[in-house]
Amino acid sequence: MENFIFKNATEIIFGKDTEDLVGSKVKEYSKSDKILFCYGGGSIKRSGLYDRVIKSLKENGIEFIELPGIKPNPRLGPVKEGIRLCRENNIKFVLSVGGGSSADTAKAIAVGVPYKGDVWDFYTGKAEVKEALPVGVVITLPATGTESSNSSVIMNEDGWFKKGLNTVLIRPAFSIMNPELTFTLPEYQTACGACDIMAHIMERYFTNVKHVDLTDRLCEAALRNVINNAPIVLKDPKNYDARAEIMWTGTIAHNDVLSTGRIGDWASHKIEHELSGETDIAHGAGLAIVFPAWMKYVYKHDINRFVQFAVRVWDVDLSYSSCEDIVLEGIRRMTAFFKSMGLPITLKEGSIGEDKIEEMANKCTDNGTKTVGQFVKLNKDDIVKILNLAR
């Protein structure tokens, strides 16, 4: 186990009707009476959530300026617009209501407001975050784990670069999570969310750090829970219990309890960012394409870890004739599981042309100058090979 520091102070308010507490929570954490209120498309208006949030804010005397229209794979443009609005109105708190894109936008705004340079500097690594406004989140899509994570992922429209920022300063002050708000999610988004949650756990799971027994087991527990409950919610979208399991697992997957003392991989996420940067495919769908190919490419690096994964997570029997057969059966079952949820598992199924492989590998490695991943450090050629395995 590696030495580690762990701190996650996000207050989670979980369960039925909890969105009615949004006004009182904003009041508790905001340093200004006026706040910025970010959200996505029309779904929160159609569902009535928008009205309930407004009511709660008004009851608590909170004024707000709206930043609507945040899109999936959130863009830098609205981030800059949000920063401008906060500065002009002396706003010291950003509220997001919606999915991960809206929350990631709120986080980007929160670090951008007190910073004199270009907020994109934080995403390219040019500058380090020193301070951030507090952010509050009402999450409606269990997937990104952004509700208590230290991450924000933003797409720069200028070149379609998708980059992630990690800093403890952007963990939300509070996150409100009502599984009922996920009842109306389309099947495809639900499946993408489940895959994203699994991917967050697997990025942590595949590590070169030895003796990480507890977090191994916690990861396996969380993965098994998604595998059990995702088919239930796909069949029965209003099943509160199964929705709650998926939603809470999505948070645990990415709140860093599962990565204590470990060094995660994150190559698959970085490769996927090129897929969704290139084609706007949903992040979770892109991960369903990348992860099986990545596994096939790297498993020989630590076959024991992949055997453990196959046996403990996918119930592969030890009686196979070789470790390699056990591993490949594990990967096969995972891929079949993604497919059973209606996700694409090849570039072709994701409508991503083979002709883009070279370009995506290039972008992912800054034109071949950098490697990605920790479990195995992958160069541009490796990524070309992985994407070819994903054809």
Query: What is the nearest approach in angstroms of a second copy to the Cβ of residue 273?
Result: 28
- Within positions 259 to 298, which residues make up the interface with a second copy, using CB under 8 A? 260-261
Binding window for a second copy (CB under 8 A); candidates: 79-87, 188-196, 223-231, 328-336 = 223-231
Q: Which residue among 20, 81, 118, 220 contacts a second copy (CB under 8 A)?
A: 220
Q: Which residue among 257, 328, 383, 390 contacts a second copy (CB under 8 A)?
A: 257
The answer to whether 63 and 33 have CB atoms below 8 angstroms apart is yes
Asked if 318 touches a second copy (CB under 8 A), the answer is no
Binding window for a second copy (CB under 8 A); candidates: 88-96, 97-105, 248-256, 268-276 = 248-256
Measured between alpha carbons, how far is 71 from 140 in angstroms, rounded to an integer? 14
Query: What is the nearest approach in angstroms of a second copy to the Cβ of residue 245?
Result: 5
Name the H helices within 206-356. Answer: 213-235, 240-252, 267-279, 283-298, 303-314, 323-340
Measured between alpha carbons, how far is 287 from 15 in angstroms, rounded to an integer? 28
Query: What is the nearest approach in angstroms of a second copy to the Cβ of residue 347?
Result: 33
- Within positions 158 to 217, which residues make up the interface with a second copy, using CB under 8 A? 210-211, 213-214, 217
Asked if 218 touches a second copy (CB under 8 A), the answer is yes
Q: Judged by CB, which is closer to a second copy: 7, or 116?
A: 7
Q: Judged by CB, which is closer to a second copy: 1, or 336?
A: 1
Q: Which residue among 222, 282, 328, 361 contacts a second copy (CB under 8 A)?
A: 222
Q: Pull the structure tokens for residue 169.
A: 């300063």
- Within positions 2 to 61, which residues make up the interface with a second copy, using CB under 8 A? 2-16, 18
How many chain residues are in contact with a second copy, going by CB under 8 A? 40
Query: What is the nearest approach in angstroms of a second copy to the Cβ of residue 389?
Result: 32
Q: Judged by CB, which is closer to a second copy: 4, or 31?
A: 4
Asked if 304 touches a second copy (CB under 8 A), the answer is no
Return the residue matching tokens 């909170």: 62
The answer to whether 57 and 64 have CB atoms below 8 angstroms apart is yes
Q: Which residue among 147, 196, 245, 274 contacts a second copy (CB under 8 A)?
A: 245
Q: Which residue among 34, 71, 80, 224 contacts a second copy (CB under 8 A)?
A: 224
Q: Which residue among 225, 276, 279, 371 contacts a second copy (CB under 8 A)?
A: 225
Sign of CA dihedral 37, 43, 47, 48: positive
CB < 8 Å & 24+ apart, contacts of 127-133: 128/167, 129/165, 129/167, 129/169, 129/170, 130/169, 131/169, 132/107, 132/167, 132/169, 132/170, 133/31, 133/86, 133/91, 133/92, 133/93, 133/94, 133/109
Asked if 124 touches a second copy (CB under 8 A), the answer is no
User: Reduced to 3 states, what is the DSSP secondary structure of residue 159?
Assistant: coil
Q: Which residue among 249, 268, 279, 374 contacts a second copy (CB under 8 A)?
A: 249
Asked if 235 touches a second copy (CB under 8 A), the answer is no
Q: Judged by CB, which is closer to a second copy: 116, or 211?
A: 211
Measured between alpha carbons, how far is 136 from 21 in angstroms, rounded to an integer? 12
**Strand bridging mode 174-177 / 135-139:** parallel
67 strand-pairing partners: 38
Binding window for a second copy (CB under 8 A); candidates: 73-81, 103-111, 252-260, 299-307 = 252-260
Residues 6+ apart with CB under 8 A from 108: 74, 76, 79, 82, 119, 122, 123, 152, 154, 165
Query: What is the nearest approach in angstroms of a second copy to the Cβ of residue 103?
Result: 18
Q: Pull the structure tokens for residue 246.
A: 């998926």
Can you give the C-alpha Rg of the chain in angstroms?
A: 20
Query: Residue 125's CB: how many other CB atoms inside 10 A?
Result: 9
Contact residues for a second copy (CB under 8 A)?
Answer: 1-16, 18, 210-211, 213-214, 217-218, 220-222, 224-225, 228-229, 241-242, 244-245, 248-249, 252, 257, 260-261
